[in-house]
Structure 1
Amino acid sequence: MERLTIGKLRGLQQIASPDGILTICAMDHRGSFRNMINPADPQSVGYDEMVKRKLELCSTFAPIATAVLIDPLFGASQCISRGALPGTTGLLVSIEATGYSGSREHRVTELLEGWGVEKIKRMGASAVKILVYYRPDLEELASRQLGIVRTVAEECIKYDIPFLVEPVSYPVGSEADNPEEFARHKPEIVIETARE
């Protein structure tokens, strides 16, 4: 078994309590966050409003969380530079672009343009996080998604920073119109995703 490197150990210490418990406040949402701010016209929510709201959230929740998960566009550097993120609170930075490319049933995670593991590490982050849409039963797509995860994982090894993967299952085929059917299949999908 490979030993935990010092960089990864330190990053994990920064995002956990002294007892090893993670209480992470996720605020890396972008598209859905715009919808929350202005459901009638989410596209009207500009950069300044997004930053302002994320600063408010970080100021409120970071002092009681072991870490915050935040996006690099509207929150990570802003929360550090404006003092909203205490030095005692860990920082996870998301590396994926908001939403997905492909179709509703064949979701492809894309990396955020202009951002990478090296840049996230240089800003002082404790860990890197990626959300990956995943259906193990869609083998070709699953292979592509695993390739994205492997690419980021290799960079995290290179820069000695923890890497957290957030796999998200979603309905396909008849499950898309039948939530009960998806709910019946989801435990098996999640278990198989964890195996892969």
Structure 2
Amino acid sequence: MTKKRISRGKFEKMQQLSNQDGVIAALAIDQRGSMKKMMESAVGPDTYNIDMVYEFKGLVSQELTKYVSAILLDEELGFKGIQDKNPQAGLILSYEKTGYDANTPGRLPELLPDMSAQRLIAKGADAAKVLVYFNPDEADEIIQKKLGFLERLGDEARAADIPVFVEPIVYDDKITDDHSPEFAKIKPKKVIDTIKELTKDKYHIDVLKVEVPVLFKYVEGYTENDDSHVYTQEEALSYFKEASDAATRPFIYLSAGVPTKTFQEELRFAKLAGATYSGILGGRATWFEGVAAYAENGKEGLVKWLDTTGKANVETLNTILKDGAVPWYDAYGGLENIEVFDLNLAD
């Protein structure tokens, strides 16, 4: 295998984001609009105020980064989390604007206007994360806009010497319910085709943060009703393996808002399939129930929940990763096949 050349800044930051096994065992709490809605729904509109979101993110970061290799946060609502995280945990910062302009076709991505890769580094980031809605079956005009965006993003991250994590969320313009059996049938091909494209060298994406390639609640044996499955277990296993084999760079799984037990089952299933994933960014599957604990019993109730149930959620995921995930550098043939070089940046 040809030696993989990685700049020193990127290499050292990737190691900072990983645990002792080279696996990215990370926590995600970069939700913005949805986080506000979750909190307001939990405490009630008459009680809700934005300081609750700030405090919640700060406490989750403070307590749970004791047990993870890194955390993904946004600065807008997660500034307390940035301050309060465990110093040993790596930091991934969101670089994209939340949501998309519904009046413009294609769910086009947009970066935060007052941010840059260099500014993220100045705020302590070890990586930049960008979410992109991606439909590989969309009109070529839209696809090319997104691919051009990703090429520019990759070039900026290379110049700044910081890893970039890209989170492609697949969708379909005709089947708008992405939890439906109809969407479940078309999701595997969309995920696989997206991975094939975005792990090409020209985008310089360091880590792809991907969805599992199936809607897991429709896998035979994992459904609420055995008659409602869309995939047999053999089919689902093959989709996991095909998606993994399509990746030419490290990839990790996101929890995509599924329940805690479901995310754990997905990761165990990935191992059965032989998927060579390099970790996770676990979000709501890790801390979602803490919102109710905070609403009911305030700061003290949340800290108690985080130090018991939240900790247990993370430790269970860490055990699953120990058993099933592979180091990020295995995608390049192992550490011995990586050549680290110094990027000479002008002052």
TM-score by length of 2: 0.52
Give the match for residue 18 of structure 1. 20
Give the match for residue 50 of structure 1. 53
* Aligned partners of 2:58 and 2:82 also within 8 Å: no
* Aligned partners of 1:117 and 1:152 also within 8 Å: no
Aligned: 1:176 with 2:180: no
Which of 61, 67, 70 aligns to 1:67? It is: 70
Give the match for residue 129 of structure 2. 129
Residue 107 of structure 2 aligns to a residue whose secondary structure is: strand
The one-letter amino acid paired with 1:125 is A
1:65-120 CA-partner distances (Å, limit 9, x unpaired): 100000021224x3343xx1111000000101111113597312211121111100
* Aligned partners of 1:12 and 1:162 also within 8 Å: yes
Structure 1 unmatched ranges of 5 or more: none
Residues of 2 paired with 1:188 and 1:176: CA distance?
Answer: 17
Residue 3 of structure 1 aligns to a residue whose secondary structure is: strand
Question: CA 1:56–1:104 in structure 2 vs 1: closer, same or farther (change >3 Å)?
Answer: farther
Higher relative contact order (CA 8 A, sep 6+): 2
1:6-36 CA-partner distances (Å, limit 9, x unpaired): 1011111111011111111000000111111
Q: Could you say what the CA RMSD is over the residues aligned between the two structures, in angstroms?
A: 2.1
Report deviation, 1:51.
1.5
Which of 32, 42, 60 aligns to 1:30? It is: 32
Report deviation, 1:50.
2.3
Give the match for residue 149 of structure 1. 150
* Aligned partners of 2:59 and 2:81 also within 8 Å: no
Structure 2 unmatched ranges of 5 or more: 198-347
Report deviation, 1:63.
0.9
Report deviation, 1:59.
1.1
Give the match for residue 168 of structure 2. 167
Report deviation, 1:161.
0.6
The one-letter amino acid paired with 1:188 is K
Q: Which has the larger radius of gyration?
A: 2
Report deviation, 1:129.
0.6
The one-letter amino acid paired with 1:123 is K
Residues of 2 paired with 1:35 and 1:187: CA distance?
Answer: 30
TM-score by length of 1: 0.89
Residues of 2 paired with 1:55 and 1:177: CA distance?
Answer: 33
> Aligned pair count?
190
Give the match for residue 107 of structure 1. 107
Identity %: 32
Question: CA 1:64–1:177 in structure 2 vs 1: closer, same or farther (change >3 Å)?
Answer: closer
Of 134-143 and 185-194, more deviation after overlay is shown by: 134-143
Question: CA 1:111–1:21 in structure 2 vs 1: closer, same or farther (change >3 Å)?
Answer: same
Report deviation, 1:177.
5.0
Report deviation, 1:45.
4.0
Residues of 2 paired with 1:10 and 1:86: CA distance?
Answer: 18
